[in-house]
Amino acid sequence: MASSSSNIDLSGPSFCVVTGASQGIGRAIAVEISKHLGPQSLMLLLARKKQELAVTASLCESDKVKVLYNSVDLSTASEKEMNQILKQAIGGHEAIDFSNCLIFHNVGSLGNLAVETSRMENIEEFRQYYDLNVFKVISLNTQFLKIFEEIEDRIIIVNITSLCAIKPMGGMAYYCSGKAAREMYFRVLAEEKKQIKILNYSPGPVETAMIDNVLEEAVNENLKDVFQSFKSQGTLIKPEITAKKCMKVLLSGKFAPGEHVDIFDVE
């Protein structure tokens, strides 16, 4: 990891958005970041499953942090809807009321694992995958930047990425290409907006439903063997552990703008 000048201080009132917050890594990140936010902070949790969002919200709520949640399918939400959701969460506050404005882009899916890369021809399905995993992430991020543009130096963006964004994995063309495109967008943004703190964090092989989905759906045998070895050897990482590592990297401030930091890079 590269070094920056100072730690990130979240002791003041913050506005924080976490997408894909209903389970797994998203829930763990929401819970972990809520512990570090200062008094009079607001959190907005986004995902499709309303009941599970309510559970996450209950785990994050405290005397210091007010938690709101919105059941939304980001793959189909318009830019206007995204803007309204963010503004409604902010309520009567102004952007300058917040010491920090954070957004964690965790929403994501695996894509079709049952088709070989050389046989990918369902472009509409591929387009729908990119809508959720790339295009709508960019759209939401743009609305966030618009709302807080007057205090850009207080904006913190964390993109939950993957080793698959920089290393090809046979049988995961949807996932790898989507993660690569998404990460590159944030790296370019970081190049243009150096006053914004942007981190691409790779959480490692985490113990979530994703593992079982790969084992059930993948047609690539090597891919299935890799994920089966993660499971059988007990090397999967608990969501809570990788969330703590993510916060450690973020709060230290020791990352270059847009840098890709893997959990195994963290001591």
pLDDT of residue 231: 83
- The closest alpha carbon to 148, from 260, 17, 10, 57, belongs to 17
In a domain, 148, yes or no: yes
* DSSP H helices in the chain: 24-34, 50-60, 79-90, 123-130, 136-147, 173-192, 209-217, 221-232, 239-252
Rounded-to-integer distance, Cα 5 and Cα 112, Å:
42
Judge whether residue 4 has pLDDT over 80: no
pLDDT of residue 78: 96
Handedness of CA 132, 127, 160, 13 (dihedral sign): negative
Q: Tell me, what amino acid is at 28? A: A
Q: Tell me, what amino acid is at 178? A: G
In a domain, 228, yes or no: no
Instruction: Please count the structural domains in the chain.
Output: 1
What is the helix (H) or strand (E) element at residue 78, kind and residue range?
none
Domain span at 59: 14-205+239-265
Rounded-to-integer distance, Cα 267 and Cα 251, Å:
14
At 81, which CATH number? 3.40.50.720
In a domain, 34, yes or no: yes
Within 13 Å and on the Cβ side, how many CA atoms surround 185? 22
- Mean predicted confidence (pLDDT) in 150-178: 97
pLDDT band at 5, cuts 50/70/90? low
- The closest alpha carbon to 212, from 248, 236, 181, belongs to 236
- Mean predicted confidence (pLDDT) in 207-218: 86
pLDDT band at 1, cuts 50/70/90? low
pLDDT of residue 230: 85
8 A C-beta contact, residue 52 and residue 23: yes
8 A C-beta contact, residue 28 and residue 240: yes
In a domain, 226, yes or no: no
Rounded-to-integer distance, Cα 247 and Cα 33, Å:
7
In a domain, 219, yes or no: no
Say how many residues make up the chain.
267
pLDDT tens digits along 126-158 = 999 999 999 999 999 999 999 999 999 999 999
Judge whether residue 235 has pLDDT over 90: no
pLDDT tens digits along 188-202 = 999 999 999 999 999
pLDDT tens digits along 13-24 = 999 999 999 999
Helices 221-232, 209-217: crossing angle, 10 deg rounding: 140
In a domain, 229, yes or no: no
* CA angle (106, 94, 246) in 5-degree steps: 25
8 A C-beta contact, residue 213 and residue 173: no
What is the helix (H) or strand (E) element at residue 206, kind and residue range?
none
Q: What is the largest CA-CA distance in the chain?
A: 54
The DSSP letter of residue 76 is: T
Q: In what order do the strands lie in the sheet with 100-105?
A: 65-71, 41-47, 14-19, 100-105, 155-160, 197-202, 259-262
- Mean predicted confidence (pLDDT) in 211-231: 88
Whole-model pTM: value is 0.95
